């Protein structure tokens, strides 16, 4: 790894640490019962992800909304389906616990037996199209807009469902981090995985900085995604000119 590439990953690491500290200062009210910050308790695998796969300029940044309960919440990697992170990316590291653990959403780290369907679909497509992580990450990167996961006891609460009084400071921190990511990896494209991420990216970065697009979110809650997400996402990326046909 040359000095230029080391500098890119160090910028991403510094930006993630600043984001983690900023969001840890925020407070959230009921019905949110628990807030998880995997940039804190799952920092070790997250830092490995940035060191290994964020150490160069990129053509495309894929941007998700926030951590899933069986993905990044468990292993610190965006859309972190355990098998994809451990077996495809080769990342496995100790994971701690949040200060207040939700008994209905325990942190099991890389021992988590549940599948993060969105992550399985996303990383599955990338593995199928590019083969190796090095081939994919040569020009691509995957990040989340918001690093926090929110729970109403056993239920997942997405950031867009929070009151404006709480999203204003949260989005300010997330916007600043996203600008730092774009400054570090200098992409041509930022692709929102779902409409929320695309909207927030445009708001944070501005249309004159990069090109924007979106793909269908791979969540199993989406009927369209359940009818062949990989094929649909590939068609969208080709149609937008992000990927060659």
In this structure, which long-range contacts are made by residues 131-139, counting pairs with CB atoms below 8 Å and at least 24 apart in sequence? 133/52, 133/53, 133/88, 133/89, 133/90, 137/52, 137/53, 137/56, 137/58, 138/56, 139/58, 139/59, 139/60
Domain residue limits, the chain? 3-239
What per-residue confidence (pLDDT) applies to 2?
52
Q: What is the mean pLDDT of the chain?
A: 96
Q: Is the pLDDT of residue 108 over 60?
A: yes
Domain 3-239 architecture: 3-Layer(aba) Sandwich (3.40)
- Mean pLDDT computed over 218-230: 95
CA distance to 26, 65, 155, 194, 237, per residue, from 60 (Å)? 30, 16, 32, 15, 11
Q: Is the pLDDT of residue 4 over 90?
A: no
- Mean pLDDT computed over 122-150: 98
Q: What is the pLDDT of residues 62-97, one digit of tens each?
A: 999 999 999 999 999 999 999 999 999 999 999 999
What per-residue confidence (pLDDT) applies to 3?
57
Question: In terms of Cα–Cα distance, which of 82, 62, 53, 67 is closest to 19?
Answer: 67
What per-residue confidence (pLDDT) applies to 192?
98
Q: Which residues pair with 35 in a beta bridge?
A: 150
Question: In terms of Cα–Cα distance, which of 69, 11, 8, 19 is closest to 43?
Answer: 19
């Amino acid at each position: 790894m040359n000095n230029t590439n080391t500098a890119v990953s160090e910028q991403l690491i510094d930006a993630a640490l600043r984001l983690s500290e900023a969001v840890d200062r925020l407070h959230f009210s009921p019905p949110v019962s628990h807030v998880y910050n995997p940039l804190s308790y799952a920092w070790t695998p997250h830092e490995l992800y940035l060191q290994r796969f964020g150490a160069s300029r990129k053509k495309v940044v894929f941007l998700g909304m926030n951590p899933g309960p069986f993905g990044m919440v468990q292993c610190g990697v965006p859309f972190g389906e355990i098998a994809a992170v451990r077996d495809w990316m080769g990342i496995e590291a100790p994971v701690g616990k949040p200060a207040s653990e939700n008994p209905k959403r325990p942190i099991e780290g890389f021992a988590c037996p549940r599948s993060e369907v969105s992550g399985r679909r996303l990383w599955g497509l990338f593995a199928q199209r590019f083969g190796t992580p090095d081939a994919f990450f040569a020009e691509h990167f995957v990040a989340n807009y918001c690093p926090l996961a929110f729970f109403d006891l056993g239920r997942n609460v997405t950031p867009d469902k929070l009151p404006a009084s709480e999203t204003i400071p949260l989005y300010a921190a997330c916007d600043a981090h996203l600008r730092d990511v774009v400054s570090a990896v200098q992409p041509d494209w930022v692709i929102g995985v779902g409409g929320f991420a695309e909207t927030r990216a445009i708001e944070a970065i501005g249309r004159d900085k990069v090109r924007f697009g979106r793909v269908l979110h791979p969540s199993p809650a989406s009927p369209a995604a359940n009818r062949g997400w990989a094929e649909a996402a590939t068609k969208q990326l080709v149609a937008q000119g992000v990927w060659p046909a």
